[in-house]
Amino acid sequence: MGEWWTTETSMENYEISSISHVTMSPSRRNNLVSMYSFPFSKSSYSELSAFCIEDNIPQCISYINQELASLGLSSTCIEAISPGGTGLSTVPALNAMYELLQIHRRNMCNLEELEREHLRKSSTLEHVQMSNTRLKDQLELSIREKSGLHETERQLQLKIKTLQSCLKTEKDEVQKLQSVIASRASQYSHDAKRKEREAVKLKERLSQLLVDRKDKKLAIDVLNCLGRADGKRRHWKTTKATSSHENEMYKSLLSDYEASQRSLMLENAELKKVLQQMKKEMMHILSPRQPSIRGATADESQEQADLDGEKGGDTSRESLDQYCEHAREQLTNSIRQQWRKLRNHVERLDSQASQAQNQLESKEVIPRETHEDEMERMRCEVQQCKEFIHAQQQLLQQQLNTSFDDETAALLNDCYTLEEKERLKEEWKLFEEQKRNFERERKNFTEAAIRLGREKKAFEEDRASWLKNQFLNMTPFRHRRRCSSSDGQSALSIRSEPEIRMSSVNGQLAKSSTYTTFSTPRPSRSAPVPSTTELYRTLRLIPDSSSSRHSNRGRWPECSNIEDGETRVRPTNGLRPGDMSIFSLGEDENSLT
Amino acid sequence: MNFSEVFKQTNQLCKVSPDGKYLATCVQYRLVVRDVSTLQILQLYTCLDQVSHMEWSSDSLFILCAMYNRGLVQVWSLEQPDWHCKIDEGSIGLVSSRWSPDGRHILNTTEFHLRVTVWSLCTKAVSYIKHPKACQKAVDFSRDGRYLALAERRDCKDYVCVFVCDDWHLLRHFETETQDLAGLEWSPNGCVLAVWDSCLEYKVLLYSLDGRLLSTYSAYEWSLGVKSVSWSPSSQFLAIGSYDEKVRILNHITWKKIAQFEHPAILDSTKATVYKEVEKRPAVGSDEMSLHSITIGTTLFNTQSKYEISPLPVQIPVVKPDPDRANPKIGISALAFSSDSRYLATKNDNMATAVWVWDMQKMSLQAVLEQTSAVRCFQWDPLRPRLALCTGNAKLYLWSPGGCVSVQVPAEGGFQVQSLNWHCSGDSVILLGKEQLCLCYMDTDQEDK
C-alpha cells in the first residue's frame, strides 16, 4: 500500500518537476513545440521546402536509410512497397519511426537530467560563490581588525616607551634632586660650621672685651655669707678630692648595678619558679594519661620513646635546684621536650577527636536508622503474621459454622472447601515462608542488637576515658565532644520512645494495621532507607502526628466497613463465595494501594 | 572640691616651696610669700624691677628672683627678712638663672651663651663654665643633686661635661656622637644620661655616668626626629616623642624599643575609653538661678561642660601643619609619666585638643580626653595617678583611672586657667590665669572613699 503511494507520489513529482521544468525553460518548450508541431504542420508546408515530395521518394528513402544506418539502426530498412512507387512498406517504416522516437525520448530524458544537474550545479555554484564572497568579506574584516590591533599595539608600545623614558627621566630627576639635597646639606653644614666658628670667635672677643673693661657692675653683693647647706666647710680641690669623687661615682654606679642585678635576680627567680611549676604541672598532666592513651592509640613505640624522654626530664628536674649552667640548660631542654610532647599529644587528641566524631557519625546516625527500620519491619511482620493467623482462624470458624448450619450448603461447599483448602495450603506455605524470613531477620536483628550493644559499650568506655582525659587536659575542643555525647543520649531516648508508643498503639490498631500490611510486600533492602517517621506513616502506626491521623481517619471507616461486611456476611451463610470475594477484593485493593 | 579666692600674679610666677609650706608669687616687682594653709601673707619683698624668673632653693629657705632685662638676680631669705643678696651680671647680660641643688650656688647663663657663671653664696666665689650650648635643654642636675650635666659646643662638636655639684669638680668630659645636640636628661636614679640630637636627625644616645656610651637608638632617618624625651620615675622606661606622631618606649636593660604608641586620627578598634568634652549653654531657668544664686555671675558668663564617653569609631580633629614653616605643629611635644610610672600622658601637636593616656603595664591606650579647645598644660598628681589639665578656659579637668571630671572654677571676672601646678602633697592645685591665681583644694575625704 505504502509502496503504491510512494510510486504515485514519485510519478506526481515527476510530472510536477517536468511541468516546472517546462515552465522554467520556455525557450526550450518552444523548440519542442516547434519540433513536435513539425509533423502536424507538415501539410501546411510548401512542397518546395518540404523534404519529401512525390518525386524523390526513393531518394528520400535511401537517404533516410543511410541516416538510420549512421544512427545504428541498420536492421530496419525502409523500403518502398514497389520500386519507384510512392507507397512505403509500413512495418519497417513504423519500426524505424519507433526506434527514432525511442532515441528521441531517451535523449530528451538525458537532456532533462542534464539540465537538472546543471541547475543544481548552478545553484551550488551560486551558493559557493555567495559563501566565497562572505568569507572574503570576513577575511577583509579580520584583516582590517588585525591592522587596527596592530595599530593599537604599536601605539601602546609607543606609550610604554614614552612612559619608560619618563620613568627614566624621573629617576634621573630623583637622583639629581637627591644629590642636590646632599650637596645643599653639606653646603649648609659647612656654612653653619663657618658661622658657628665666627660666632665663637665673636663670643671670645666679646668676653675678652668684657673682661678687659673690668666690668664694675659684675659683682655679688651679699650681706653675710651663708653656711653650707650640710654645715660642712668647703673642701680644697685636691687629687684626693678628685679620687674621692671618682670613688663616689663608681660607688653609685656600682650600687645601681647591684640594685638592677638584684631586681633581675628576683625576676629570674620568679620566672624560674613559674617555669618549675609549669614543668611540674605539665608532667602531672602528661603522666597519668599515658596508659589509657597507650591502650587506645597505635603508636605505642612513640609513646614509649616519650616516656623515656620524660624519665630523662625527671632526672633533670632533680638537678634543677642547682643553679648551674648545666642544670639550666637541661631544664630548658626538658621543658622544651615536654612542651613538644604536650603539643604532639594535643594534636593527637585533636585528630582522635575528629576520628571519634567520624566514628560517632558512622556508628550512631546510620546504624540507628537502619536498626530502627529493621525493628519496624520486624514488628510489622509479627503483626502481619498474627493477623494472618487470626484471619485464617476466623475463616476456619466460619467454614465450620456454615458447614454445621446447612447440610445442603455443606455439600455445595465441599467443592469450595477443596478450593479453600488449596488456597489455605498455599497461604500456609506463604505464611511459613514469611515466618522463616521473619525468624531469619529476627536473628539478624538480635545479632545487630548485640553488635550495637557491644559498640555502644566500647563507645561508652571510649567516651569515659576521653572525658577523663579531657577533664585532665582541659583541651579546647571540649564542647565538640560534649555535643556528640549528648547526641548519643538523645538518640537513645528517641529509640526508647517509639517502642512505648508502639506498644500502646498495637492494641488499638492491631486489625487495621495488619489488614493494611497483610499483603503489602516487604520493603526491599535495596530501597533507600526511609526515616522513622516516614516508616511509621507508611505503616500508619503514628496516631499522634496530624498527617497520619488524617490518613487513619481515612482508613478506619474502611476497615470498619470490612468488619461490618464480615459481620453482615455471617448470617447469610449462603453467600460464602461472595464473602470470599469480598475478602480477596479487599486484598487486591490493598495490594494495589 | 574647694577653691580659694583669687590672687594677683604676673608672668605666671607662682611657686610652692619644696617643703610645701609656702607659696611665693610675684606681682610685678614685689615678691609675696604666703602660708599655703592659711594663704596669709608672711613676707613681702620688693625687687628692683619686674621679676622675670623666680625660684625656691631646695631647702625652701631662699627665693631667687631674676630680672633678665636688667641682668640682675636678687635672693631673699625667708628666715632673715633683712638679709639680702644681689648678683649683677653687668653688661654681659643674663638669659637664665637657676639654683644649684644645694641651694647655696646660683648658675647664671649669660647672653649669647657666652658662659655659665656659678656664684657661691657661701664664699662669694665665682666660677665660669665656658662654651655652654644654646639648645632645648643644655643643663640638667641629677635627681639626687650630686651631678650636673652640661652640654657644650666646641669646634663644632658636641661635648657633655659632668660636674660634681659639691665642689664643681669636672668629673667627666666626653664628646657625643651627635650632629647637633638638642638636649640631655639624667635618669631619675642618676646613673644614665639620655642625650638626643636635634630634630633633623632621630638619634638618642644613652651614656653611663662615667661617660661610656651604653646604647644608641634611631627609629628612622631623613625626616624630622625627636621632639620630646621623658624618663619614667622608676628609670625603667625612656619615652621618646617624635615628629612622626609616635611615642617609642625604650627599656632600661637592653635599651631597645619595647613599645610604640601611635596617635591615629581615627580610633576604631581600641579598648580605650574616649572621653569627649561636651559644652552646653546653661539653661536660664528660674530654679537653676535660685539653686546657684551665689554663682550666678559665673554661670551666666561661662558655659558648662561635661564629659561623655563617645562610642567608637572616634575621629579626633587634626590640624594639618604648614609645611613651609619651621617647627611644624606636628608630633609629640609633651610626655609625662605618672608618679607611679603606671601611666603616660602624651599630647600630639596636630591634635591639640586631645590628651592621650597610656597604660604602661598593658602597653596600650587607656584613655583619650578630647577637649573642646586646645590643651595648654597637663600635669600628674605627685602622689596619685591623677592627671590635671587645662585648656585656657575657666575649667579644670581631672582624669583618673576611675573616670574624668570637668570642674568649673568659681572665680569672678573671666578667670582663664593658662597653666597649673600641683602642690607636692597632691592635695591642691595652683591654677594660674593670665594675671591671677587660685588654689583648688581636692576633696581628700572623697578621695579616700
B42-52 pLDDT, tens digit per residue, is: 999 999 999 99
Q: Look at A230 and B82 and tell me if their CB atoms are within 8 Å.
A: no
- What are the grid coordinates assigned to B445, written together? 575625704
Asked if A415 has any chain B CB less than 8 Å from its own CB, the reply is no
Cα of A196 to nearest chain B Cα, Å: 7
Sheet with strand B213-217: strands edge to edge: B181-186, B192-197, B204-208, B213-217
Q: How many helices (H) and strands (E) does chain B have?
A: 3, 41
**Which of A325-339, A426-440, A497-511 is modeled with the greatest confidence?**
A426-440
B118 in Cβ contact with B127 (< 8 Å): yes
Chain-centre distance for alpha carbon A354: 23
Q: Which pLDDT value is given to residue A2?
A: 39
Query: In this prediction, what percent of chain B has a pLDDT beyond 70?
Result: 94
* Average pLDDT value for chain A: 70
Q: Which pLDDT value is given to residue A406?
A: 60
Query: How would you label A197-232 residue by residue, b for 16+ Cβ within 10 Å and e otherwise?
Result: eeebeebeebbeebeeeeeeebebebeeebebbeee
Q: Look at B166 and A235 and tell me if their CB atoms are within 8 Å.
A: yes
- Between CA A385 and CA A369 the distance in angstroms is 24
Task: Report if residue B371 sits inside a domain.
Answer: yes
What DSSP string describes A431-494?
HHHHHHHHHHHHHHHHHHHHHHHHHHHHHHHHHHHHHHHHHHH--TTHHHHHHHHHHHHHHHHH
Q: Which pLDDT value is given to residue A412?
A: 65
Question: Is residue A523 pLDDT above 90, yes or no?
Answer: no
Query: Any residues with CB less than 8 A from the CB of A376 and at least 6 apart, and which?
Result: A532, A535, A536, A539, A541
CA dist list (Å): B175 to A125, A409, B132, B204, B205: 104, 142, 14, 14, 12
Cα dihedral across residues A537, A542, A546, A549: positive or negative: positive
Q: Which residues of chain A make contact with B169, given a CB cutoff of 8 A?
A: 237, 241-242, 245
Task: Report if residue B243 sits inside a domain.
Answer: no
ipTM (interface pTM): 0.75
Q: Which pLDDT value is given to residue A181?
A: 87
Query: Any residues with CB less than 8 A from the CB of B144 and at least 6 apart, and which?
Result: B101, B190
Quickly state the pLDDT bin for A324 (edges 50, 70, 90). Answer: low
Query: In this prediction, what percent of chain A has a pLDDT beyond 90?
Result: 23
Instruction: State whether residue B141 is helix, strand or coil.
Output: strand
Cα of A496 to nearest chain B Cα, Å: 52
- What are the grid coordinates assigned to A239, written together? 687629687
- Between CA A329 and CA A333 the distance in angstroms is 6
How many CB atoms within 10 Å of residue A485? 17
Nearest CA in chain B to A250: B210
Q: Which residues of chain A make contact with B97, given a CB cutoff of 8 A?
A: none
Nearest CA in chain B to A246: B171
User: Chain A to chain B, count of Cβ pairs less than 8 Å apart?
Assistant: 109
A96 in Cβ contact with A76 (< 8 Å): yes
- Between CA A397 and CA A573 the distance in angstroms is 12
Short-list B167, B189, B121, CA closest to A227: B121
Q: Which residues of chain A make contact with B90, given a CB cutoff of 8 A?
A: 210, 215-219
Q: Which pLDDT value is given to residue A84?
A: 60
A451-455, B265-269, B364-368: least confidently modelled range? B265-269
A12-21, A109-118, B229-238, B386-395: least confidently modelled range? A12-21
Cα dihedral across residues A104, A106, A109, A111: positive or negative: negative
Task: Report if residue B72 sits inside a domain.
Answer: no
Q: Which residues of chain A make contact with B103, given a CB cutoff of 8 A?
A: 229
**Which of A194-208, A302-316, B4-18 is modeled with the greatest confidence?**
B4-18
Residue B291 amino acid letter? L
Residue scoring higher pLDDT (B324 or A537): B324
Short-list A309, A363, A335, A341, CA closest to A487: A363
pTM greater than 0.80: no
A293-307, B72-86, B135-149, B297-311: least confidently modelled range? A293-307
Asked if A220 has any chain B CB less than 8 Å from its own CB, the reply is yes
A95-109, A278-292, B227-241: least confidently modelled range? A278-292
Task: Report if residue B314 sits inside a domain.
Answer: yes
Half-sphere exposure of B275 (CA within 13 A, CB side): 23
Q: Which pLDDT value is given to residue B336?
A: 94
Give per-residue pLDDT as tens, A174-192.
999 989 988 988 898 899 8
Cα of B246 to nearest chain A Cα, Å: 26
Q: Which pLDDT value is given to residue A224?
A: 76
Asked if B92 has any chain A CB less than 8 Å from its own CB, the reply is yes
Mean pLDDT of A498-517: 42
Quickly state the pLDDT bin for A42 (edges 50, 70, 90). Answer: very low
Give the CATH number of the domain where residue B364 resides.
2.130.10.10
Give per-residue pLDDT as tens, A150-159.
999 999 999 9
Say how many domains are in chain B: 1
Instruction: State whether residue A45 is helix, strand or coil.
Output: coil
How many CB atoms within 10 Å of residue A493? 9
How many CB atoms within 10 Å of residue A574? 15
Pick B122's closest partner by Cβ from A207, A226, A256.
A226
Task: Report if residue B71 sits inside a domain.
Answer: no
- What are the grid coordinates assigned to B347, written together? 599630647
Backbone region of residue B232 per phi and psi (left: phi > 0; alpha: psi in -120 to 50; beta: other values): beta
Give per-residue pLDDT as tens, B192-240.
999 999 988 899 999 999 889 999 999 988 788 999 999 999 999 999 9
Give per-residue pLDDT as tens, A388-411.
999 999 888 888 776 555 666 666
Short-list B331, B330, B328, B360, CA closest to B345: B360
| β-pair type (B273-280, B364-370) | parallel
A524: DSSP letter = P
Quickly state the pLDDT bin for A536 (edges 50, 70, 90). Answer: low
Task: Report if residue B124 sits inside a domain.
Answer: no
B140 in Cβ contact with B186 (< 8 Å): yes
CA dist list (Å): A245 to A78, B105, B417: 168, 19, 46
What is the residue whose three cell numbers read 557519625? A361
Task: Report if residue B159 sits inside a domain.
Answer: no
Nearest CA in chain B to A225: B122
Query: In this prediction, what percent of chain A has a pLDDT beyond 70?
Result: 56
Question: Is residue A464 pLDDT above 50, yes or no?
Answer: yes
Task: Report if residue B338 sits inside a domain.
Answer: yes
CA dist list (Å): A290 to A112, A296, A302, A310, B23: 104, 10, 12, 11, 75
Question: Is residue A490 pLDDT above 90, yes or no?
Answer: no
Task: For residue B313, say if its preceding peptide bond is cis, omega within 30 degrees of 0.
Answer: yes
Residue scoring higher pLDDT (A117 or A412): A117
Q: Which residues of chain A make contact with B89, given a CB cutoff of 8 A?
A: 217-218
Question: Is residue A260 pLDDT above 80, yes or no?
Answer: yes
How many CB atoms within 10 Å of residue B402? 8
Instruction: State whether residue A15 is helix, strand or coil.
Output: helix
Question: Is residue A512 pLDDT above 90, yes or no?
Answer: no
Q: Which pLDDT value is given to residue A409?
A: 63
Backbone region of residue B47 per phi and psi (left: phi > 0; alpha: psi in -120 to 50; beta: other values): beta
Expressed as residue numbers, the domain containing B339 is 266-281+304-320+330-408
B88 in Cβ contact with A218 (< 8 Å): yes
- Between CA A386 and CA A435 the distance in angstroms is 10
Give per-residue pLDDT as tens, A288-309.
555 444 444 444 444 444 444 4
Asked if A266 has any chain B CB less than 8 Å from its own CB, the reply is no
Asked if A252 has any chain B CB less than 8 Å from its own CB, the reply is yes
Question: Is residue A23 pLDDT above 60, yes or no?
Answer: no
B432 in Cβ contact with B4 (< 8 Å): no
Pick B167's closest partner by Cβ from A196, A235, A260.
A235
